[in-house]
Structure 1
């Protein structure tokens, strides 16, 4: 999709950025600790939900049929005894899937550091659309290239403004006709993104109704055709 791509030696600042990314990438121990913490929180929350739900049901049944289904009843004790390992198992499996879903770029980052090379990708755009996610109002821009392909840009400043209860539309980001992306070739991590050229006009943001898992990756070519963005997002 880039109008042109060239490879060159990484600058000292770019090498330092790669080194920082590798240092900050969670290792196996950190991933396990985060997974264990997530499992513990999920287990406690799910068990609490089961107990509270049962107490509500027990109170209704107790009033209707004159039964004792409170915290001290044998039925409640049995329910908690069964629910405790079941909730723990569900929390553990969910956390394992969660940890496994994390992308692990460490080996690719090491390869990038060893080679100390980067790709310079140059893009030329003719149109832009922006979508706004409903939770915090963060903006996602889709830029149409002169080759009729689509490039995705996340406006992180707008997201931060929304989190701080400010207007995301006050973000300083504006799409422009040209873009230079410096990308590590093995890991694909973006080290620099520099727009230039004339500002592209955009209308009011469109509502983003797709789930986050369906959002295109940031600072990458988008697989959705330009004329299908509204339908699929």
Structure 2
């Protein structure tokens, strides 16, 4: 399976890149107490360090809002998933536990303020394209609503759109039966290459420590990253 960026995205965001992590033979289950403790500690520290009114002080939030604006997406109406997660936590809501794969994914999305998606690769059909949505792009979202993706940044396979830095689809969701996964980290244009390396390394190590399996990772970019 290959992943690539479409010109509908790169023409407007030439410095956008994706971190791609492929996991095989993983064992997804309830998150272990160790992970739950680490995430709960981080959430409490986050609430001490930031107020909801200062959310844009979090590195990555303003940058992704700017990316959305450059793509013609209103970031106040359609928030990057990382911002939506952070807002929910700073409003006092608990971390929403799903399973050991999704929980790790969401933890890193909040930690680095970057949209991250985790997908059951066996539910995907062929290669993956990151592009701007068309009029017929819609799917049942994990938020329980049918989402219309026209004009929005998304991921699609040979069948249809299945993911986005806004909300992902139920079609590609990861369950405890999932064994082969693809994780996508959406890197904004201002992120230096060294930081991307650090993030990919941290995510891959922790994910396989928790879920086991084998890992292959790569970058997808249309332009050289800043160093």
TM-score (norm 2): 0.26
Larger Rg: 1
Higher relative contact order (CA 8 A, sep 6+): 2
TM-score (norm 1): 0.25
Which structure has greater helix proportion? 1
